[in-house]
Chain A
Amino acid sequence: MKPNDVILQSVTKVTVIIIFTFSVYLFLNGHHHPGGGFIGGLSTAAAIVLLFLAFDIEKVRENFQIDFKKLAALGVLIAIGTGFTGMLAGDPFLTQYFNDKNLPIFGKTELATALIFDTGVALAVIGTAVSIILSISEGDSLWKR
């Protein structure tokens, strides 16, 4: 697939940034407002997929030199790992904690261990979604040859 669509590519360059920003917003906002790790991760994946569609796969690969399979595994490991932190304190597996702290710039902010867990979720979702699409489309290009 070698798309040569100038309009799509120009629009994508701008929208991708918006989508990425929005994804981060969704992700961080999840504890109190709509959003969270799953949606945040999925919309990030959607942005990357958009890049694949608009540009060449090889080009995107050059710019994202990440092994998305490993990213997915890392996410799962983070999520499981946070489960054990509670056990160190003697609480059941996967106990989450939260506390309000006064941070220098943000003011009174709630810090929750759930955010780390959510990071794991987000990474797993990004990694899986992108690696599925990558492997299918790569298979596709080889198939065509």
Chain B
Amino acid sequence: MKLLGGCRLNSLHMLIFIPFVFAMAIPLLYKLFHPKIHLGWFVLLIPLVIFLDLLRYIPLVANGDHLTTSLAWLPSMEMNLDFYLDGLALLFGLLISGMGVLVIIYSIFYLSKHREELHKFYMYLMMFMGAMLGLVLSDNIFILYGFWELTSISSFLLIAFWYERKSSRDGAMKSLLITVFGGLCMFAGMIMLTLITDTYSIREMILNVEFVQAHKLFIPVIICILLGAFTKSAQFPFSIWLPGAMEAPTPVSAYLHSATMVKAGIYLVARFTPVFGGSSVWFWLVSGIGIITLLYGSITAVRQTDLKALLAYSTISQLGLIMSLLGIGSLTFYFGPSEHGVTYSMAIFAAIFHLFNHSMFKGSLFMVVGIIDHETGTRDIRRLGGLMQLMPVSFTVALIGGFSMAGLPPFNGFLSKEMFFKAVNDVRVAEIFHLETLGMLFPLLAWIASIFTFVYSMILVFKTFSGKYRQEKLNRDVHEAPFGMFIPSVILAFFVVVIFFFPNVFSKYLLKPAFVAILPMFTIDKVDIKISAWHGWNTELLMTIGVVIMGSLLFITVKRWVPLLKQYPQWLTLNNLFEKSLEKVERYSLTITNRYMTGSIRHYFIYIFSFFVIVLAGSLLLLHGIQFDVSEDNVICIYDMGLVLGVMIAALTVLFTSNRMTAIVALSVVGYLVTMFFVIFRAPDLALTQMVVETVTTVLFLLCFYHLPKLQKNIGRIKFKLTNLIVSVATGLTITILALSSNSHKLFEPISYFFENAYELAGAKNIVNAILVDFRGFDTMLEISVLCIAGLGVYTLARFRMKGSDHNEAE
């Protein structure tokens, strides 16, 4: 472990801030260069710089070191921008920036510079990139949360990029509702976690593992944090937002909704595996939900006719696969670095490897689908076919990506798929957490899901590219995409093949450091992992052969059995459940709101005062605060009596007069008599203020006088009057008791030291003024701000009413 100082310290912060700062410059660039140069060429620089900069850290991280940097933000609250670069963060960082480069190149050709609002698109994209980098680099749990929500927001904005379409808006809304719901749950979990561990740093939490696992909040924390991870990574049953998110432009789908953002949940689970790993709840939730998602996603993908929807469900399914691997890998923490532990640690390695591979092949497939959409004008499988001759490059890329997704050699997906089969086979022998009986489910479900994965991969490749070309169903001549558009997907496809042949190079520099970052009990030099394509005639290989045979059979007969899947009733789908419950929630909350937001000021006053009485009188009673002590009180003389009598008479007059003018005058009398108290008790400042305020308010009253309706007595029923009586008497009593009691308590150190020494401390002989401008200057500053805002509010209200009246007249 090594801490680096100096200029390198700042570069990590710079990486995160650059996209945000650049996002602010985009409107300027747009203005300067708009129709001449596609904005994407400028934006391309940013991920490129970040990618190259991150490459520099590979040697450092491959040695098992890490980099920490800290920037004080709110040191008094321990909220600092602590960033932490280890193997896992570096792998994600490289994926984010590397995919960013390719996606931006792709978007330059995909999005027309004449029709689209490119400045908005790239601003959101930069915001996302900065947030995602911040998310994977943060060590402070709440900073991480902030970036987490920022990715949700930027994803929302990008999905709704074509906001004229209703489906885009709906998809964006759905994704925001679900991911932010999960995010808030996660926030609650994080707060509990900080309460348990008494730290905001994830690394320090890992050091307090025993403490966390023994705590009574352990299970609620796990559930809350996993809700965040599962909603973000589209795990069953929260997966419904991801197909909706496909309304976004294809570069966004390729980038956010397959390669990076949806992997944030995976990242979180991996990051917290050292904290929660080894417990049965964590294992069952993560691997159970993962394997269900895998199965659900793969079966649902088969019945899709929209290519992007197919890819969306396939992403859901693959995310489930990675999630279940992380769950199985968490068993390592149960067994420790023993022989068993090493076996299960391979699941973690497989998870990282598959995550890496998935970004490659899924990214390339999304780009190909985007190209098909761009060139043919449709993504519907039923209208496509026979594109092989017309689009040979796209076909090659789709073939490589699709076969890799199906888990066939010689592509990288084969390697990680074999490791996945090995991991699910190993689960059976764990003999803990009821795995001796239930463990059989893992290989079985995984095998079935893999068959369907094979089928949908074949559908994707062969239904679009082979078969008969149907010109009549397309509205245009189809030809290959421009060179720049398929370059990014070709690069990705190239990596898909290269990784198969040289997996150990990537393993040494990228995957192993990430592996060690998740499993701190292993050190990088002791880990000996060799990935090899050929590993003998073992169970895994037989399973793969079974998948290919079964999958081919099913693919050939696909027309016969897919209609059966489509029989599934529409009203039973998760989507329907979501929409129905959303509708219900909206309706009920509207009913409830309408019930108390009546628009009557009287009602609002009743709420305000009742709340006031309940809180104040309640706490006075509960804390035994009522106490009268008259020993230190001043002697009451005859003037005071007279004044009190006068105030009472004036107040009663306000109540019982039938003339509004009299009421206003009586109210001023109350005010002026209170001024007299200040005079008697020698508070000239207060007396002066009270007097002027009283004068001005009287004038105000007179002005408003014209608008008020004639004062009507005896309106309303007895019930109405009784409510008013109870509320007002209760409020008055509370205030009286509070004032008398506060005089009898001495709870805090007296602060009279300041007042006695006002001249030395503030150079003021008038302590009232010293309090206002010096000792409590902050209060005064905020008070005048509030005053100013209130004034503007009155101004606006008066204007609005005038506008309203004009409007009425016009009608």
Nearest A-chain residue to B705, judged by Cβ: A140
Asked if residues A31 and B766 are in contact (CB atoms below 8 Å), the reply is: yes
Binding stretch for chain A, among B321-329, B331-339, B405-413, B689-697: B689-697
Asked if residues B788 and A124 are in contact (CB atoms below 8 Å), the reply is: yes
How many angstroms between the C-alpha atoms of A131 and B788 in the bound complex?
10
Taking a contact as CB atoms closer than 8 A, the residue among A39, A83, A125 that contacts B781 in the complex is: A83
Q: Judge whether B684 is part of the interface by a CB distance below 8 angstroms.
A: yes
**Min CB–CB distance A126 → chain B (angstroms):** 11
How many angstroms between the C-alpha atoms of A98 and B704 in the bound complex?
44
Taking a contact as CB atoms closer than 8 A, the residue among A31, A139, A143 that contacts B765 in the complex is: A31
Among A32, A83, A110, residue most surrounded by chain B Cβ atoms (within 10 Å): A32
Q: Judge whether A38 is part of the interface by a CB distance below 8 angstroms.
A: yes
How many angstroms between the C-alpha atoms of A76 and B685 in the bound complex?
22
How many angstroms between the C-alpha atoms of A79 and B782 in the bound complex?
10
Binding stretch for chain A, among B186-194, B601-609, B769-777: B769-777
How many angstroms between the C-alpha atoms of A36 and B707 in the bound complex?
35
Q: Judge whether B764 is part of the interface by a CB distance below 8 angstroms.
A: yes
Asked if residues A43 and B788 are in contact (CB atoms below 8 Å), the reply is: no
A106-139 interface bits toward B, Cβ cutoff 8 Å, 1 = contact, 0 = none: 0000101010011011001101110111011111
Q: Judge whether B703 is part of the interface by a CB distance below 8 angstroms.
A: yes
How many angstroms between the C-alpha atoms of A128 and B795 in the bound complex?
10
Taking a contact as CB atoms closer than 8 A, the residue among B692, B696, B764 that contacts A112 in the complex is: B764
How many angstroms between the C-alpha atoms of A31 and B761 in the bound complex?
13
Asked if residues A96 and B798 are in contact (CB atoms below 8 Å), the reply is: no
Q: Judge whether B799 is part of the interface by a CB distance below 8 angstroms.
A: yes
Q: Judge whether B438 is part of the interface by a CB distance below 8 angstroms.
A: no
Taking a contact as CB atoms closer than 8 A, the residue among B703, B763, B766 that contacts A98 in the complex is: B763
Q: Judge whether B643 is part of the interface by a CB distance below 8 angstroms.
A: no
Asked if residues A136 and B684 are in contact (CB atoms below 8 Å), the reply is: no
* Residues in A whose Cβ lies below 8 Å from that of B794: 131-132, 135-136
Asked if residues B684 and A34 are in contact (CB atoms below 8 Å), the reply is: yes
Asked if residues B688 and A112 are in contact (CB atoms below 8 Å), the reply is: no
How many angstroms between the C-alpha atoms of A62 and B350 in the bound complex?
81
Asked if residues B795 and A131 are in contact (CB atoms below 8 Å), the reply is: yes
* Residues in B whose Cβ lies below 8 Å from that of A112: 762-764
Nearest B-chain residue to A115, judged by Cβ: B773
* Residues in A whose Cβ lies below 8 Å from that of B777: 83, 94, 96, 117
Asked if residues B802 and A139 are in contact (CB atoms below 8 Å), the reply is: yes
**Min CB–CB distance B738 → chain A (angstroms):** 25
Asked if residues B791 and A140 are in contact (CB atoms below 8 Å), the reply is: no
Place the interface of chain B in its size category: 35 or more
Place the interface of chain A in its size category: 35 or more
Nearest B-chain residue to A19, judged by Cβ: B692
Among B763, B764, B784, B794, residue most surrounded by chain A Cβ atoms (within 10 Å): B784
**Min CB–CB distance B712 → chain A (angstroms):** 21
* Residues in A whose Cβ lies below 8 Å from that of B689: 38-39, 42
Asked if residues A39 and B688 are in contact (CB atoms below 8 Å), the reply is: yes
* Residues in B whose Cβ lies below 8 Å from that of A42: 689, 692-693, 696
* Residues in A whose Cβ lies below 8 Å from that of B781: 76, 79-80, 83, 94, 117
* Residues in A whose Cβ lies below 8 Å from that of B801: 139, 143
* Residues in B whose Cβ lies below 8 Å from that of A38: 689, 772
Asked if residues A31 and B699 are in contact (CB atoms below 8 Å), the reply is: no
* Residues in A whose Cβ lies below 8 Å from that of B692: 39, 42-43, 46
Asked if residues A35 and B763 are in contact (CB atoms below 8 Å), the reply is: no
Q: Judge whether B792 is part of the interface by a CB distance below 8 angstroms.
A: yes
**Min CB–CB distance B352 → chain A (angstroms):** 48
Q: Which of A59-102 contact B (CB under 8 A)?
A: 69, 72-73, 75-76, 79-80, 83, 93-94, 96, 98-99
Asked if residues B696 and A114 are in contact (CB atoms below 8 Å), the reply is: no
How many angstroms between the C-alpha atoms of A75 and B791 in the bound complex?
13
Q: Judge whether A49 is part of the interface by a CB distance below 8 angstroms.
A: yes
Taking a contact as CB atoms closer than 8 A, the residue among B703, B772, B792 that contacts A137 in the complex is: B703
How many angstroms between the C-alpha atoms of A140 and B802 in the bound complex?
9
How many angstroms between the C-alpha atoms of A75 and B802 in the bound complex?
28
How many angstroms between the C-alpha atoms of A58 and B799 in the bound complex?
17
How many angstroms between the C-alpha atoms of A135 and B799 in the bound complex?
7
How many angstroms between the C-alpha atoms of A142 and B390 in the bound complex?
73
Asked if residues A128 and B778 are in contact (CB atoms below 8 Å), the reply is: no
Asked if residues A142 and B766 are in contact (CB atoms below 8 Å), the reply is: no
Q: Judge whether B805 is part of the interface by a CB distance below 8 angstroms.
A: yes
* Residues in B whose Cβ lies below 8 Å from that of A125: 784, 787
**Min CB–CB distance B588 → chain A (angstroms):** 39
Taking a contact as CB atoms closer than 8 A, the residue among A33, A34, A45, A135 that contacts B696 in the complex is: A45
Asked if residues A117 and B700 are in contact (CB atoms below 8 Å), the reply is: no
Which 4 residue pairs spanning A and B have beta carbons closest together? A98-B763, A128-B791, A32-B765, A34-B684
> Apart from A31-B770, A42-B689, what 11 extra A-B contacts exist at CB < 8 Å?
A31-B765, A35-B688, A39-B688, A46-B692, A114-B769, A121-B773, A129-B791, A132-B791, A133-B700, A139-B801, A143-B707
Could you list some 21 contacts between A and B, CB below 8 A? A34-B684, A35-B688, A37-B772, A37-B773, A39-B692, A42-B693, A46-B692, A75-B784, A76-B784, A76-B785, A96-B777, A114-B762, A114-B764, A117-B773, A124-B787, A131-B792, A135-B794, A135-B799, A136-B700, A143-B802, A143-B805
